[in-house]
Amino acid sequence: MHLRAPRSARAAHAARTARPGRLLALTTAAALAAAGLTAVASTPADAAGSTSTASGSGTQSVTVFLTSPDAEGLADLAATPLTGTHLARQRAARLAELAALVPSDADRAAVVSELEDRGYTVESETTWSVTATAPQTQVSDDFGDLDDSTGTGTGSAGGTSAGAAVAEQRAATTALPDVPHALDDLVSAAFLTTDTDQAVAPSTTTTLDGDDVRNADTPANVAAATGEEGAGLTVATLQFSDWDSSDLTAYAAEHDLEDPVAAGRYTEVDVDGGPSATDTTDDGSVEVALDQESILSTAPGASQQAYFAPNTDAGFGDAFAAVYDDVTGASTATSPDAGIAALSLSWGACESAWGTSSIDALEPVMESVVAAGVTIFAASGDNGIYDCGTYYGRTSSTADVEFPASSPAVVAVGGTNLSSDDATANDGTNWTETAWSCTSTYTCATTTGGSGGGASGSGYGASWTAGDFVGFAAPLWQTATLTGDYADADTRLVPDIAADADPNTGFVLYTSASTYTTAYGSNDLQVGGTSLASPLSAAQLVTTLGAAGFTAGVGDLHPALYSAYAKTRRKATTSSAKAFRDVTSGSNGAAADAGDDPSVTAASGYDTVTGLGGVLWSALVPYLDADAPTVTTALAAKKKTGARTRRLAVTWTATSTLTLASTTARLVRVTSSGTTPVRHWSTAAGAHTIALRTGRTYRLVVTSTDLGGATTTQRRVLRLTRG
């Protein structure tokens, strides 16, 4: 399956990008003309004809993804951020721990050996994958066939893919239905390396620059960063279309910024040979320009590493695997860079189109990247709650959310309209932020577009997609900090945060793409979409980390984000400690279509239109550098109440920079044969006086865990005497 970019056309309003196939880039291109805003229209037409892996002449390339030796352990490690003191030492220990949770060199060698024994030629390897070619008949015999006319897979074991035939084209996963029995324990899934259906496609669009964004997203009455603070750190991006990097040079010159290409701070990494000729379009090149130029504008001191991969499921997974290899310095690394702290992804597709088998194969690869210290940001989509709405060139009222944005390992970034009368540094009153809004299937998917959001698994059972993904379970940081219906949600909610995305307040980039220069007579193009919001957020994080003295990334950002939200949401907008600008107006669909989404309307606090709100980045620093919880306990004998009893005073208090996820206090009687429970409490603080027998020994055990997974336990022992 292929990744695809949209095609722009002049329109009265910002039209949305239709997204066939799998992942789509999420930018909404709009040009600024004298008469007003012009914007993106439709996605390029599908490639003519259909394809199948059915037996035939010639060769076929297949990419197999390896299984984590401990998937649960990897997920837990990915959810534990790198924070606290001695960060460099902690990172070294983390990488050593991570090495045992990802596929080993021996496992990968066993896969290579088995494929070669079957007549395959191995083309490339990453820690997570092996790409090899063989005659089509051999691939068909080993991995089964995908029939594009039905969207189902047929193989020797009679397996089926997660796909389903839908309208003009297949939305199904391209995971092949079989794996050779010899690889059952080593391989999680196999994909065709080349395929004509797109995996991801962009939605493009407008006019704030990096200076404005830094001014807006600093805490009230705090000096804004210059953007140079990110020096020594790197923002990575994943791209599925080629571009001309001289556009980045031209943008730098136009805005009096140092050229990162000439300075050696822009690196291109080809994955699996890079995007194909059919992947590369003017729309795709605009998507790349939006990412790289908005990062340069916002974090001019940071380095950039752009990974260019084929627009296929295999290319998508291998691009993440390449980032993992490079940040960890693995033996299969092609461009090692331990400074990669953030990764921005402007491509995605609705969960239903991916299907369970593809998501299950790709999720551990992304978790390994986060566990290695890289924070992944992903656009939440540009069609409001209707993420599959224009997937097949049709309009649907079925609600769905974007993957990879819906992954709990990823920070999902929604969209806002950000404006100011003077564009100076935030004082708590001079910047206005509302949701990038739409109100119906038509406005969300066809005309204005809007911030993607909703509940993971909303598309489960949809008859017109793969529809077999039940959604990601609600993470602890969601259930522990949100309130009302959002706290009661069973699945992951999207987005986490939001940033500027409305085509009316977007970003002006430089492009040499002839489609646009011919149509508008200028190299300057106004663009927006959540694929602007994502790179802006990645750039802001890197700048924040650099300013705070971090020399590497922190990995999972959710504990810091949700803790900062819980602890500062009630502070005044003029408080320098307030970590989010609350977005309280706007919507991203019709309430009647919401499905499992608690609401389609922005309101005070968290909502599934703009998440926690706009991040005021430097206010996050205390939560990025959090040590484990502090627990204080006390056991004390009080007055005598009788010959056989005395009063025991039990007190404890747990505190933490991050929000406490849980605190338990257990009072037990200690005997020669073990312990006997006496009392149990689940609260962060307590003070109790209990009448207990004398001549016995008691122990208080208090264990407290924060949202980052850090745990502290303290014990107190006291013997109650008879005197």
Are residues 568 and 672 both part of a single domain? no
Q: Give the pTM.
A: 0.88
Q: CATH no. for residue 669? A: 2.60.40.10
Residue 638's pLDDT is: 84
Of 290, 139, 205, the residue nearest 504 (C-alpha): 205
Q: Where is 250: in which H helix or E strand?
A: helix 246-254
Q: Is 143 among the domain residues?
A: no
Average pLDDT over residues 603-617: 97
The more confident residue out of 148 and 577 is 577
340 shares its domain with 232: yes
Do 108 and 321 touch, CB atoms closer than 8 A? no
Residues 306 and 272 in one domain: yes
- Residue 710 CA to residue 704 CA, distance in Å, equals 8
Q: Is 333 inside a domain boundary?
A: yes
At residue 466 the predicted structure's pLDDT band, cuts being 50, 70 and 90, is low
181 pLDDT band, cuts 50/70/90, is very high
> Is 561's pLDDT higher than 90?
yes
C-alpha closest to that of 75 among 53, 102, 113: 102
pLDDT number for residue 17: 32
Does residue 355 have a pLDDT over 70? yes
Give per-residue pLDDT as tens, 413-443: 999 999 998 889 999 999 999 999 999 988 9
With 0-12 / 13-18 / 19 or more C-beta atoms within 10 angstroms meaning exposed / middle / buried, residue 693 is: middle
Clarify whether residues 600 and 678 are in a common domain. no
Q: Tell the residue number behind the tokens 């039905």, with chain if given.
A: 150
Structural domain count, the chain: 2
CA distance 648 to 361: 54
- How far is 43 from 4, CA to CA, in rounded Å? 8
Q: What is the mean pLDDT of residues 680-707?
A: 95
- Among 546, 580, 583, smallest CA distance to 563 is for 580
Backbone Cα Rg of the chain: 26
- Which comes out higher in pLDDT, residue 276 or 401? 401
Query: Do 603 and 700 share a domain, yes or no?
Result: no
Domain boundary among 594, 624, 654: 624
- Indicate whether 388 pLDDT > 60: yes
Residues 527 and 638 occupy one common structural domain: no
| Statement to judge: residues 447 and 510 lie in one domain | yes
Are residues 678 and 537 part of one domain? Answer: no
Name residues whose C-beta falls within 8 Å of residue 692's C-beta, 6 or more positions apart in sequence. 645, 646, 647, 648, 678, 698, 720
Query: Above 60 in pLDDT, residue 293?
Result: yes
686: nearest Cα among 663, 720, 657: 663
Backbone angles phi, psi at 400, to 5 degrees: -165, 160
**Three-state DSSP class for residue 681:** strand
**Inside any domain, residue 250:** yes
Q: What pLDDT is recorded for position 175?
A: 82
The last residue of one of the domains, among 624, 651, 669, is 624
3-state secondary structure at position 534:
helix
* End position of a domain, from candidates 573, 600, 624: 624
C-alpha 149 chain-centroid distance: 32
Rounded to an integer, the average pLDDT of 326-342 is 97
List the structure tokens of 169.
């084209």
Confidence of residue 31 (pLDDT cuts 50, 70, 90): very low
Higher pLDDT, 200 or 720: 720
Residue pair 630/654 in contact by the 8 Å Cβ criterion: yes
Considering the chain, what is the average pLDDT of its residues?
A: 85
Instruction: Return the pLDDT at 26.
Output: 56
Q: Residue 622: helix, strand or coil by DSSP?
A: helix
Identify whether residues 564 and 583 lie together within a single domain: yes
For the segment 32-61, what is each residue's pLDDT rounded down to a tens digit?
332 233 333 222 222 222 233 333 458 899
Residue 543: predicted pLDDT: 98
Q: Is the pLDDT of residue 495 over 90?
A: yes
Residue 162 pLDDT > 60, yes or no? no
Residue at 53 is within a domain = no
pLDDT for res 519: 87
Least confident of 139-148, 250-259, 316-325: 139-148
Write phi, then psi, for 2 (nearest 5 degrees).
Answer: -100, 155
Rounded CA-CA distance 481/477 in Å is: 6
Tokens of 59: 């060769």
Same domain, 206 and 349: yes
> Is residue 169 in some structural domain?
no
Q: Is residue 127 part of a domain?
A: no
What is the extent of the structural domain holding 354? 24-47+198-219+227-477+491-624
Residues 609 and 660 in one domain: no
Q: Is the pLDDT at 531 greater than 50, yes or no?
A: yes
Helix (H, G, I), strand (E, B) or coil at 87: helix
Q: What is the mean pLDDT of residues 693-713?
A: 94
pLDDT digits (tens, 9 = 90+) for 625-668: 888 999 999 999 888 777 788 999 999 999 999 999 999 999 99
CATH number at residue 312: 3.40.50.200
E strands within 15-162? 24-25, 28-33, 36-39, 59-66, 121-125, 129-135, 145-147, 152-154
Average pLDDT over residues 302-311: 96
The answer to whether position 421 is within a domain reads yes
Contacts of residue 670, Cβ cutoff 8 Å, sequence gap at least 6 = 697, 698, 699, 717
Helix (H, G, I), strand (E, B) or coil at 306: strand
Please tell me the distance from the alpha carbon of residue 615 to that of residue 242, in angstroms, as a whole number.
Answer: 31
Helix (H, G, I), strand (E, B) or coil at 472: coil
| Residue 189 near residue 318, CB atoms below 8 Å | no
541 and 563 inside one domain: yes
pLDDT at 672: 87
The token pair that represents 280 in the structure block: 């590369």
Phi, psi of 116 (to 5 degrees): -65, -40
Detail the DSSP E strand segments found in 13-79.
24-25, 28-33, 36-39, 59-66
